[in-house]
Structures are given as C-alpha cells and as structure tokens.
Amino acid sequence: MFKTIKHYGRVTLENLKMSILTTLEYPANMIGWLLSNPIQFLIGFATIQFVVAEFGTIAGWGYGQLAFLYGLSVISHALSMIFFVQGWFMGFYVIEGEFDRYLLRPMNVLYQFFFTGFNLIGITDLIPGICVFVYGCIQIEFEWSVYRVLAILALLIGATLIRGAIYLIIGTTSFFTKSVNDFGAYTQELFDKTTMYPLTMYPEGVQLVLTYLIPIGWVSFYPISELVGVANGRFAWQGAIWVTLGVGVLTFLVAALFFRWGLTKYESAGN
Amino acid sequence: MAVIQVEHLVKDYKIAKKGKGLKGAVKNLITNEKQVIHAVRDLNFEIEKGEIVAFIGPNGAGKSTTVKMMSGILTPTSGQVLINGKNSQKNRKEVVQDLGVVFGQRSQLNWDLRLGESFELLRHIYQIDKKQYEENLEIMNDILGINEIINTPVRQLSLGQRMRGDLVAAMLHSPSVLFLDEPTIGLDVDGKYAIRKFIKEINQVKGTTVILTTHDLGDIQELCERLIIINHGVLIEDGPLNELIDRIAPYKNLIVEFYDETCVKHPKAELFFHEENIGKYRFMKKDITAAQLIQEISEQIAIKDVTIEEATIDDIIRIAYHKE
C-alpha cells in the first residue's frame, strides 16, 4: 500500500514536471489564456453586479454574498480544469485510440487519463476566482477561523470532485456512442448557470433535480449558503459543507465505476 | 511453458447496419439493426521464449485486433490470452509490466519535450532501478546510437529517429515480450536496417520474445524463423518460413536457352513451355536438384544459358493469403 502510494506520488511529480516543461515550451499560449480567461469571469461577475444594483438582491442574496459564492465557484471550476479537464475530451481519446497507451502501462487507467497531463492553463481561471472571492470576503466582513479554513478546503475538494465526476460521467458516454463530442462547451454552460448564482432563484422542480439527480447544488450553493448564513430553500441539508465532501467522493466513485465499465467497451482504433 | 498462449480467442464487433440515403437513415433510427463482424474467430497458438514470430495477413485480417487482445488493450469476446501464464485482461498491470509494445503508426513519446524526458517518465512508471535504467540506455546506445538524439525534442526527430526512440522506450523496463506493430512502416533503407538489427540483437542478448506484424517481407525474411498467417480472423498458416515455401511452392523452374529449336524432355521435369530456342522445365525440389537436371539435359543437347526461377516470398505470401 505504502509502496503504491509512493509509486503514484513519484509519477505524479514527474508528470507535473513534464506539464510545466510543456507549458513553458509555448509561453505565448499561456499569455493568451492569461488575458482571455480572467476577462470572461470578471465580465460574468460584472453582470451580477449590474443585476444587484438594479434589483437589490437575487433570491435573498446580497451583493457581497453573491461575490463570495461566485468567487468560490470559479475557484472550484479552476481546480477542476487543472485536474479533470481531460474528461471534456474523452470522445477524442476514445475515437483516436488514445487509451491504448494507458492500457499498456502498469498503472490505473483513470489515474493516467487525468494525471498524465496537468492543465496548468487552468491557473488562469484561478486568478479571477480568488480576486472575486477576496472581494466578497471583504464585503460581507467574513470572519476567519481555523474551522472555517478547513470547511472551505473541504468544500473546495468536494466541489472539485463533483465537477470532475460529472465531466467523467458525460465523457464516459463516448465509449458507448463512439463519437467525438466536445463536451466542454455545454458542461461549462450548465455549471456557469447553476453554480454561480443562488439555486433558489430557480423553480423547486429544478432545485430538486440539481440536488439529487445531478448533484450540482452541492458544488457551491448549499455549502456556501451555510457558510455565509443565507436562506437556501427546502432541499438543503444540515452540515452541508461536509455533505458536499461526501457527495464529491461518492459521485466520483460512481463515475469511476461507470468509467471502468465503459472501458471494457473500448475498441481502440484501426491499426 | 510457453510465453504466450492464445486460447480460443474470439472478437466480434457489432456495427449498426446502415441503410442507403435519407430513407435508410430514418429507418436506422427506428430499427437499429446490428450487424456482427467476426474480426477474430477461434484463434489458437503458442509462442515459446526467445522466438521471433512474424504475425502477418492482409489488411483487415484481424492482426491488429489480435495483437491488441494479446497486449490487453481489447477485451476478447471469448477465449483468453495468457502471457507468462497470466491473463492479460484480469492481471493487466502485472502483464504489461513485462511487456513492451511499439505501434509503428503512433508514438508513446511526449511530442513537445526532449526525448530523454519521455524516458525519465517511463523509468518512474515502470519503477526501473536507476542502475538498471542506465545500463539499458547504454545497451540501446550501442545498438541504436540513441545518445545522439536524446536531447532533441521529439517533434524535431525524423521518422526513423522517432522510431528508434519508441523502440528504446518500449525496452527500458527489460520486458520479456515485445510486440511490434508494423515497426518499419514508412522507413528508409537505413532506418529499416537499424530496426532489424535492433530486434535481432535484443533477441540474442536479452532473449526477448518478439512478435511483429508487418507487410514488409524483408522484415520476415531477415528476422523471423516462424510465420503465423491469419486471414478473415482465422489462422491459416503456422510454421517456419522454409517449410511454408516447400509446401506452397515445392517446385522450381529451369529456363534453358539452346543453340537451336530442338529440345529434349526429361523424366523428372515437366517441359511446360517451348518456343524457338527457349525451353522451360518445372521440377520438384525433392525429385532432383537443378545441377543434376542441367547436367542430364546437357548430356543430350548443348546448352547456351540457364536461369533458375524460384517462388519469391511475395509469391508464397500471396498464395497463402488467397488459400481458403
């Protein structure tokens, strides 16, 4: 067990090193993303600011609270981009036979799929996330404590896992459909619309679906509403932060099992 | 014990039956008829330690599918492959630890970085002991001159250099079995020569068992003691190259040029062509040697010139492919 962890840890470090080297090979690429990604999220936040300025609150959430929610959402989005973005491109891997190589190496295939290349470009999403989050903290005069730091860490891990699991589940369908779909655009759309605003602004039917069927509510809305103490609808749970972590681990396990089943349907590519 | 045992290996693919045109497309949506393609049907063979085996067949014969099942990439519909006694699906990680695989048409090297980085990563993935790793690189350098290109980014390597890189990458962890899928495809004469030399040497030095698929008959002739031919997913030949030649083409042709139009017959050779001063004889190799035949003919009539025709490996393979 210890040996296995050491093995995976060592390979992860080596992969990280190679990802850094690869990113440094193309500095212009990084600069391009560094300009475009933050702008995208800052404009998104500006929209919220406009709505709040016009109407006062959104579903009972004030301006600072919304910034807090938006900021943490973008941070977990950025983390999922760094670690799990490959899920978006699963169709390509399936059709092009890219899993061949992973299947030929003596390590877990899912581990290799996600961690052979770290997407360091994802860091460019982290910057606007942290900016808006810090801004929100100042606005609502968020009181920091050891417990709250741990809670936010747990929340981010859970949220990142849920996002990763959903990318993985959607991506795994490629094993069955055998088509090259770029899942990026519409998963991003789905997450943007549901994690960056209070869920209670949607009808209850939608809330129900996003709580139990697709557990997106747990990515940001439930745990953060508990953290900042805002009303969060009738489907909320007590201790939502820790539930988020549990939901994250659970959905990821389900996604991993689904992936494992999908992989047995893998047909490689001609020659 | 055999290094590789292939037992009753079967692979079926289901593909949707496609109707023609718009009408067919709409019908497909409703009926969703599936057609089963039998890519590999009940394949059985064993490969012993240290063999170099050519695994050949026409395009679409099921070669790649079989190699992919042997190396654990594809799950067989039924049957199994044992490598060193272990099932390549159930014990994938253990099996691949002792397996090297090179696909001529794709690379496992990191395109953006210098070749050496890919090797370093593999060292960690396969947990190769540092000393062993350096020793292996040294051996590879002796055979393939890998040190010349180890600091070059992979994207700047020529196809031949990249192929050398891929071979080294596949052998770093000293696997006992090496699968090569069209390793010489697209290479120039020097490139092919280097690859063949490499295969021969690692086979001799390390006792590596090598299975290669190829369309290059030079590869087969230079490397392989044994041929496995499959077509339509069925094994049609399995044996040494010489035996196959003797069986498929047990005869030679002797073409004799005489001084005039007279010609003689011979009891052990069939005169199947005679025009002007040229006579063509076909004789069985087991009945008589060419030298004997020439001597016996020349005792009766003066010979000006002779040519001996033998079925080339191309002919043999073509005949084997078309055999039912």
Q: What's the 3-state SS for B174-232?
A: CCCEEEEECCCCCCCHHHHHHHHHHHHHHHHHHCCEEEEECCCHHHHHHHCCEEEEEEC
How remote is the C-alpha of A68 from its chain's centroid?
A: 17
B93: tokens are: 């990680």
How much is the average pLDDT of B19-36? Answer: 78
- Contact map slice: B 183-202 vs A, CB within 8 A: none
How much is the average pLDDT of B168-197? Answer: 91
| Residues ≥6 apart with Cβ < 8 Å to A151 | A223, A227, A241
Q: How does pLDDT run across B131-152, given as a tens digit for each residue? A: 999 999 998 898 888 999 999 9
Cα of B108 to nearest chain A Cα, Å: 7
Cβ(A142)–Cβ(A68) below 8 Å: yes
Axis crossing angle, helix B115-125 with helix B159-171, rounded to the nearest 10: 20
B97 at A interface, C-beta within 8 A: yes
B-chain residues near A105 (CB < 8 A): 96, 125-126
Confidence of residue B96 (pLDDT cuts 50, 70, 90): very high
What is the per-residue pLDDT for A234? Answer: 78
What is the per-residue pLDDT for B62? Answer: 87
The answer, yes or no, to whether residue B86 has pLDDT greater than 90, is yes
What is the per-residue pLDDT for B129? Answer: 93
The answer, yes or no, to whether residue B247 has pLDDT greater than 80, is yes
Confidence of residue B122 (pLDDT cuts 50, 70, 90): very high
Are the Cβ atoms of A25 and B181 closer than 8 angstroms? no
Average pLDDT over chain B, rounded to an integer: 89
Cβ(A72)–Cβ(A156) below 8 Å: yes
Confidence of residue B263 (pLDDT cuts 50, 70, 90): confident
Q: How does pLDDT run across B28-83, given as a tens digit for each residue? A: 777 777 788 899 999 999 999 999 999 988 888 888 899 999 988 998 999 999 99
The answer, yes or no, to whether residue A229 has pLDDT greater than 80, is yes
- Cα–Cα–Cα angle for A195, A199, A202, nearest 5°? 125
Confidence of residue B245 (pLDDT cuts 50, 70, 90): confident
Percent of chain B topping pLDDT 90: 48
Range with the lowest mean pLDDT among A128-142, B10-24, B54-68, B73-87?
B10-24
What is the per-residue pLDDT for A192? Answer: 81
How much is the average pLDDT of A134-162? Answer: 94
- Contact map slice: B 33-72 vs A, CB within 8 A: 64, 68, 71-72
Are the Cβ atoms of A21 and B117 closer than 8 angstroms? yes
Fold of B249-322: Alpha-Beta Plaits (3.30.70)
By CB atoms closer than 10 A (0-12, 13-18, 19+), residue B189 is exposed
Are the Cβ atoms of B68 and A99 closer than 8 angstroms? no
Handedness of CA A88, A89, A94, A99 (dihedral sign): negative
Q: Which residue, among A40, A264, A262, has the nearest Cα to A171 in the 3D structure? A: A262
The answer, yes or no, to whether residue A206 has pLDDT greater than 60, is yes
How much is the average pLDDT of B297-301? Answer: 89
| Residues ≥6 apart with Cβ < 8 Å to B295 | none
* Domain ranges (residues) in chain B: 4-245, 249-322
The answer, yes or no, to whether residue B182 has pLDDT greater than 60, is yes
A-chain residues near B127 (CB < 8 A): 7
The answer, yes or no, to whether residue B89 has pLDDT greater than 90, is no
The answer, yes or no, to whether residue B163 has pLDDT greater than 60, is yes
Specify which residues B86 forms β-bridges with: B83
By CB atoms closer than 10 A (0-12, 13-18, 19+), residue B271 is middle
Residue A56, φ and ψ in degrees, nearest 5: 90, -65
Cβ(B112)–Cβ(A25) below 8 Å: yes
What is the secondary structure of B77-100 as a DSSP string?
Answer: SEEEEEETTEETTTTHHHHHHTEE
Handedness of CA A203, A208, A213, A218 (dihedral sign): positive
Question: ipTM value of the model?
Answer: 0.85
What is the per-residue pLDDT for A40? Answer: 83
Are the Cβ atoms of B112 and A21 closer than 8 angstroms? yes
What is the per-residue pLDDT for A47? Answer: 84
Cα of B106 to nearest chain A Cα, Å: 9
* Closest chain A residue to the Cα of B128, Cα to Cα: A7
What is the per-residue pLDDT for B100? Answer: 95
Mutate to test the interface with B, among A20, A100, A111, A116 (most CBs of B within 10 A): A100
Whole-angstrom distance, CA of residue B124 vs CA of residue B153 = 20
Specify which residues B235 forms β-bridges with: B230
The answer, yes or no, to whether residue A101 has pLDDT greater than 70, is yes
Average pLDDT over chain A, rounded to an integer: 89
The amino acid at residue A87 is G
What is the per-residue pLDDT for A270? Answer: 60
Mutate to test the interface with B, among A22, A104, A113, A175 (most CBs of B within 10 A): A104
How much is the average pLDDT of B160-172? Answer: 93
CATH code, residues B4-245:
3.40.50.300
Are the Cβ atoms of A104 and B96 closer than 8 angstroms? yes
Ramachandran bin of A19, using left for φ above 0, alpha for ψ from -120 to 50, beta for the remaining angles:
alpha
Distances (CA, A) of B50 to A265, B68, B88, B201, B228: 33, 21, 19, 12, 16
Cβ(A244)–Cβ(A223) below 8 Å: yes
Confidence of residue A103 (pLDDT cuts 50, 70, 90): very high
Cα of B99 to nearest chain A Cα, Å: 8
By CB atoms closer than 10 A (0-12, 13-18, 19+), residue B297 is buried
What is the per-residue pLDDT for B324? Answer: 58
